[in-house]
Structure 1
């Protein structure tokens, strides 16, 4: 637990003190998702530092007293980086966290080297997915009722893994957010969109989408890739909303290749 920007947050850090040729990764998680849900990614990317935190009221971070917005949480994340003398990061975000990653890169461009947007949208200007998936996604029962999650896993996430052990492992890592924490996360992005600002986002960006995502259709990734000047789109075949889990090897290879590629001159000039 750390006091950051007037908030108490549960923070997870990997290899911050280890030598590396790569900048650390700052990761923003999906709505209601705790640190453990993405810990395997941090462990696999073992040649670089990795830092993330539970949003207020999520995981083991205490409930927020007041609502927050993308500006205040991006500022809080920057304060956390400053505490560890981190000047520059590669920013990754999935789903709800992909919107936070966009906002952080826009608000703190000097701290952002590259950006990876996973199964996400430009906010309220998104093209909606399967209404059945959205209804179930908004239901907190998916965090507290294993039977509900098992019954609706394919509808929620598409591209459902055929490996029951892999699905069970993911579900077992989830810890339900508090009602207030979940509500405040929903309110955080109410009315928010990055669309008008994306043409000014001068960071090399990888947009990753699953072609079987029931929650965030691929068209949203195409919009992001078209609007961000230095972006490219990678579509994971057969991948649903959780392709980072179900297609882990392919996804991690794409992320590594992108983060480790030489910097292009256009992006450096920007």
Structure 2
């Protein structure tokens, strides 16, 4: 397999979130894909297999396990495909369901990709799980933003949304990786989406990712899509809305994710970003 390496959600190779991309993984066994993802060492590598009807079957592997959906690797895959086959609309078949992604060139020539997630949904977080999660993070209930209540959010993968009341709280991330990984495995959470609201449409996020063997993800498109659905379902944004999520700055890899929240309920969330080859 030819493995390409891209950074998604940044035009600077020193920013964004690196992803491995295999545009043709035809015939590759699960063990081979997992071993390749481990060798690449990024939070996820996407493996695409062209199908007879023009769609791509895409699977995503972290260095430790397969995940149902990954936003930044999807953006990277779409840009890599567009560089070789031209811009346009791709239909993806993922373990989470069908995802469309469209590529186009900005005025400055930069390739930009927009994915539309599966239908999002939210669920309560059990009180005991929330208490354990906050304890592992060394956060207190008094440090949370009461305007953004804790929920588990889904748009292809599950992410608990925990909102900090201050930027300083978000900036101070120091957690027990083994303990958080065990809790997340028990609840089938992919990353923890820690957020702070700067303004009605601008947010900052950090995403611990111990199930993937990664302390922190610098740009998490799947969590951004889930967060857009969370805001719409809880009436915390007035759709249609365009949101900006800044992520990765605290770990020295600044990323920018644009989230489009349609007004129609139960419709997919748009996630837009750039990608550059390493």
Do they superpose with TM above 0.5? no
Structure with bigger strand share is 2
TM-score scaled to structure 1, two decimals? 0.31
Structure with bigger helix share is 1
